[in-house]
Structures are given as C-alpha cells and as structure tokens.
Structure 1
C-alpha cells in the first residue's frame, strides 16, 4: 500500500504555524512560591498608635492563554480576585481592603519591602467593559491606547490608599493592592510575590469610631469588613438598648403609609421583631410630614444625627407611589430603577 507523504514545504509551513501559536502562549502555566512571607492575601502584622504594619503574599497563580479579537493573549488567574480592572487597561487582578484610622486622621502608604519576579513575553489581555445585565452581546475587549502605547509599568503604584470615608461612624480608608505591574511595550510582567506595607495615620485625635453609632447589629459587619477592627472599643450593648427603650428610640424603624391596613401590618412586624429582642417602632408618613424622597431623607438623617441610639435599619413598607395613604416614595436612580438605597 502506498503511504501518503506531505510535501516538505507543507510540513515546514505547518510547523511554523504551530510554533507561532504556541509561542503566543509560551508563558502559560501555574506559578508557585513555597517560601512566602505570609498566608495568601493580606495579613495584619502589627497595629500601633500611628500606623499599621501588613504583609501581602501570593503563594500561587496561573497564566492562561486565550484568544482576544483573534489574537493570542494572556489572562492572570489569582484566587479570590474576581473583578476585572478598569475597562481597556491590562486586566491585572487586584483587591481592596478597609482599614480603620483615628477620627479626623488621613492616611498615607509606604512599601517597606518586597520580592518581585519578572516574567517576559507576556501579552496581557485588556479588561473588558462590564455590560448591563440586559446586554447579551459578547464581552468587548478594547485596548486603551493611553496605556498600551506607553513604555511604562501599569499601574504606576501597586499599593494605594484612598481618602477617608465613614462606615457607621468609623473613619476608614480603602487600601488597594494590585500585586502585578505590566509594561505593554516591553511585554514584561512584574509579580509582587510578597509586599511589606505600612499605612501611616496623620493627624486625628487617637480615638476610633463613634460610640453613639455603634450597634450590636452593625458591629459584626464592621469586624468582617475592617482588617484592623480590634482597634474599636468594646461597647455595652445592654446599656445602649436600655437607653433606647427609655427614650422611645428604636434599633429598627418601620416607615409606613397612613392607611390603617398598612399600619396594622407594620405593627405586626414590629411586635414580631420586639419578641425577637429587636427594639422596633413604627412611624407613619403623616407623622414624618411628607411623602417625597427629600422629606424621607431629611427625617432619616435627622434621627441618625440626633438620636442617642440611631436605628440600625429602616424598613419602607409599601409599594412605590406618591399617595401617602397607601404607597411610599423612593428615589429613581439614573432614570433606571426605584432604589431606597439612595435615601
């Protein structure tokens, strides 16, 4: 039987094509570091009066090959880092962490030590545009030319810190860590295997949080959200609840339309919550004196500012509408949806 033999020219072309395709994915695979300075992610090392010492470590990650717009590119897969970067920028995994700082303080950050590995010949995919949930078209990967034509590492800093904001009366900053930097011209990827970080508080009065705003319902959220939550002072919740009961202030407040049927259901919920041990009260739109979003927000802001024990949560009971007898208003966000989260 005669064997079929490909011409040498065809074989050479096939080998060349195979070489080009596989070279585009030559850096793919799993990268492991067995001598990390700490556990994966961010670890709190030391909390001092004016600064916080932290360690961020990577123990393993993967580089995967994929086709983007018909071109071979690379994607970084790092555990627990799921959100894409800014649309059009190199899709480098990053994460944010919340830190408490003293009341009235600001913060700055310094990298005190790090270990870096450089991986050559990486073609990083751009971050896709996050579509609306109604957009069923394929993800769009469009390179931002201001980043991809620049001979510089992106982002400029792997660790940044935000301006302060408040979380239930606690002065907090967000620490942003992107343990990679990418130069799209040289195609070099910097991997920050380990980073020693110092967050320095500047100014402030040395105290943390606002005792009046502390809550037995909010404190578990604070402890889960804030890396150094141990700086928050202990609170006597029993004393706090007793003070609220004696002054007709509520941990849980129900705002209801004026109609007696709605008030009856609000009272039913209130009794159930009180039986659970959650001090609950009911207020009608008539007592508030308005049905529009401005009036509701002004009322909620006033009790949050004035009550010795502000509510941990507010329930708006009723369907959307402007008739205060049987509906309740909520703001419309971006002409798109009704949302009480704007209040």
Structure 2
C-alpha cells in the first residue's frame, strides 16, 4: 500500500474538546466534517473506484473494568450506525468502517492511499474488546480478557488503513469488502492516531483466481438489481454492459403434494412474468427421497445452465416430507441451497421454504393465502395497509427494542400512519392484550426482536395458542422476526409455520403469507 502523501500533525491544529460529567470527552478534530457525508464516491470506472472518507473526531468514554479505568472510543460522525468494531477479544476495541465495492469479474484488487490527514491524541488507555453474553443467556458471567503482551507493542493497530477482503459473488456481482481503520492505537505509547480525512482508491489490475465470476450470457437479474444498487456504490458502472431480465421461478415439491395445488402457485407466478418450472422430488431422485447434496446440485445446475436461470426457488413441504433441508450445525436450514456461485455465504438465488403439514386443506389454505395477498388483497379496511406492529423484549440487552423502534421510524417516514409497539420490560411481561388488539385491528407488517422458542416469542410472550385465538379478519401480512427458533421448520409447527398456515378459506384468514425468522437459537 502506498504511503500517505498528506500528513497533518495534531500539535499544529486546534482541537475542540468537550467534556461531560459522566467521564465522556468529545474531541472534535475537524469541525468541517460535521454534517459531512462519511464516505463519498469520487471516481468510478471499470479500472478503479475512488472514495473520500471524512470523520470529525472521536468520543472517549471512561470505563472501569477489573479496577482499571479504560477509554471506549467512538467516531464523531453523522452515520455512527455504519461503523463496526475490530472485535478481537483482548485487543484494543476500535471503530472500523466497512464498504462493499463491486469489482471486475476476474481482476485483482489493490488498495492505494491517495492522501490522508490525521492527528495524535495522547494518554489514552483503549479498552480491550470483551465478548458479551448471548441474548439467550443475558446473565452469563464472561471473564475480563486483555492480551497483555499485545498491549506492550510499540506499533499502531490495525496496521493497514484499508484492508481488502477476499472477493465474494452475489449472483451477477463480484464484490470485495474494503475495511477502513480510521482510528489506530499504539498501546505501548498510549496514542490514538485519528484520521479525519482519507482519500483512497481500489485499483483493478492483474488476476485473482478466488471467486471469479463466470458469465454464460449478457443478462443480469432484474430482481437482484435494486439490491446491487443498495449495497455497493458502483453497481451501475460495473453492470452497464449487461441487460436486466426477469428470471425464473423454480418450484420443488414432494410427490405427496397434489399437482393441482402446485399448479395454483405455478400459474400465478407465470402470469406475473416468470419462467416457471415445477419439479417433483422424483425428478431429482427417482426411487428415494433426494439428499441435500442432490437438491443443491439440481439448483446449481439450473442456475448455471438454464436459458432462464431461477431467481427464486420455492421448496414446498416440511423438511420431513420428502425435500430435506441443508442442515447447518444441527439446525434446519435452506440457506446453503441459495449459495450456488462462489465459496461465500451471499445468496445467489432467493430460497423460501413453504413448510406445512401434508393435509390437503392446510396445504390449500397456505398456498391460497399467498395468492390472495398478491392477487386480491383485502380492501375492506384500506387503512390497515398503513398500520404495523413492532414488538421486542428489553430484558438484559438493549438492541431488540432499539432495532424495532428503528423499523417503526422508517415505516412512519415512508407513509405509515400508525405503528403500535409492545415491549417486555423484565419485571413481568405485559399481557397479550396489546399484541392481540393490534392483530385484530389489522396490521400489514409485523416486526419482532428479542427472545424466542420454536412455538413462541419469548418476551413479550406470544404463543401459537395466542395466534389461534385471533379473529379471522382477512387482514394478513408478512412478519419479520429474526429471533431464536421461531422460524425453525425442523420442529413441529413452529411459530413461523403456524403464522403462514393458520386460517381457513376464503374469508377466514389471519396471520400472513410469509414469515422471516431464524432457525437457530442464540441469535
């Protein structure tokens, strides 16, 4: 990496230090960066992408741990939520800024610092990073960890201002994560090096054989394109030569689901413009239930070789009905089926599991709920399309409540008129009345974060039996609840499955057409 061309020493520039009674110091090193966009793209071509990074300073907050006083370090920026941390147990806990960047299909990537400005802050004892208790074990005691040998080193950590990670494939897009370390620490000298400006670029030259993107035609996914634009700042430049098209919809179903029910879904997706292929498990393994590797190979072959490769894969039935999941750490999971390009964990197709009992009436209701929601949505109460519900537990950890309040804020900013809340506060959860009232009144979107189990939210507690007691009001909607176990379709009638399968046709629907949940615990 080329050395910085511009260096500004702290001794020659005025510094604004604002103190607080709680031991927090706000050190403003560059007031012009206040209100400035943290990261700006300045140049974007197929041979390089350049950026300018701005940060106003740091906030130092005292922390007393094991009878010693340390300082926590936070960036002064308008977008603190975009920063992460170094997260190495026992090593200095410092902010980092990560940005995904699209890169050419086979090229290597070389980071270069064009110029930078930094200042030194002395006499700082940066707190070592500590592991935190899991949400499911909030009272667990984790011993204090500090790498004493590392804290004797006379060198700045992290050593690189920009660290480029291994390439990854996200369907049509090859990307890297560029991790900026705008705050470096020398533990032996107790010095912080704080960069207020970094002008840097990624140069694309040579060849990197890791996760190369192999293209079979000049098309890219119409459905994925908005996601490309949302996560990388240079998607349009890298994909300008390609043509967006609507992709395929692949339905995999076990032999004991009647073809007539499968065709209900297939016909509607075809009318929406997708190239639909419905495949029974017998086409994957003729004389027995297919293995997870056989299912993966079938999806990967369709992705690589079909004229219209699938964008969506719908796996019908539970994981015991003929189409097994791709188990991960002993938990039911279909995510690996989505990772058909490259060795990374980014999904290249969108995989959903329509988990349901193999009972004709329940299967029909589950399929029709999705079709009704999409084709003929309930308009008897139009206002329910601008109502939502945000629920969270607030016991032992603060992120669940903050997360759903952030969702609430985003919804209200985008035209929702009412977003009810229900929180568990630790001194006894509220009864189910506010949650039940919101569902019975009708909400088009539900978010939950906190604690959970396969058959219920944990705090506030809400069970499958509470879902059964809801009114049949036809005001259905999806739920986003990435919480321990509630999406574990490897268990019998998990909360997410119950949400999608309950109700009766045609005017007795409740719950929703989809549930985004976690199979694993300790999330």
Shorter-chain TM-score: which interval?
Answer: 0.7 to 0.9
- 1:233 and 2:240 aligned: yes
RMSD (CA atoms): 2.9
Residue number in structure 2 paired with 1:244: none
Matched, 1:175 2:178: yes
Q: Name the counterpart of 2:121.
A: 119
Unaligned 5+ runs, structure 2: 1-18, 338-523
**Is this contact kept in 2: 1:105–1:203, CA < 8 A?**
yes
| Change beyond 3 A, Cα 1:216–1:134 | same
Equivalences for residues 44-123 of structure 1 within 5 A: 44-78=41-75, 79-81=80-82, 83-85=84-86, 86-123=88-125
Pair 278,33 (structure 1): closer, same or farther in 2 beyond 3 Å? farther
Counterparts of 2:36 and 2:143, CA distance in 1: 35
Q: Does structure 1 residue 159 correspond to structure 2 residue 166? A: no
Q: Which residue of 1 aligns with 2:269?
A: 273
How far the C-alpha of 1:103 sits from its partner, in A, is 2.0
Match of 1:18 in 2: none
Q: Name the CA distance, whole Å, in 2 between partners of 1:291 and 1:305.
A: 20
Q: Taking structure 1 as reference, are residues 156 and 277 closer, same or farther at Cα in structure 2, changes over 3 Å only? A: same
Q: Which residue of 2 aligns with 1:34?
A: 31
- Alignment correspondent of 2:332: 338
Cα distance change, pair 131–81 in 1 and its aligned pair in 2 (3 A): farther
Whole-Å separation in 1 of the counterparts to 2:90 and 2:262:
49
8 Å CA contact 2:46, 2:103 repeated in 1: no
What is aligned with 1:7?
none
2:95 counterpart SS class? coil
TM-score, normalised via structure 2 length: 0.53
Counterpart-to-counterpart distance in 2, 1:302 and 1:130? 42
Q: Note the C-alpha offset of 1:70.
A: 3.1
Q: Distance in 2 between the 1:218 and 1:258 partners?
A: 31
What residue is the counterpart of 1:320 in the other structure?
Answer: 319
**Per the alignment, do residues 26 and 255 of structure 1 end up closer, same or farther by CA in structure 2, a change over 3 Å counting?**
same
**Range with greater deviation from structure 2 (128-137 or 220-229):** 128-137
Structure 2 vs 1, CA of residues 37 and 54 (structure 1 numbering), >3 Å: closer, same or farther?
farther
- 1:327–1:251 distance in 2 versus 1, CA, 3 Å: same
Given the two structures, how large is their TM-score scaled by the length of structure 1?
0.79
CA distance in 1 between partners of 2:35 and 2:168 (Å): 29
Conservation of the 8 A alpha-carbon contact between 2:223 and 2:311: yes
Aligned pair 1:216/2:219, yes or no?
Answer: no
Distance 2:262 2:68 in 1: 60
d(CA) in 1 for partners of 2:161, 2:92 = 13
Whole-Å separation in 2 of the counterparts to 1:272 and 1:236: 25
The total of aligned residue pairs comes to: 304
Deviation at residue 30 of structure 1 after TM alignment:
4.6
Structure 1 pair 226–209 and aligned structure 2 pair: CA distance change class (3 A):
farther
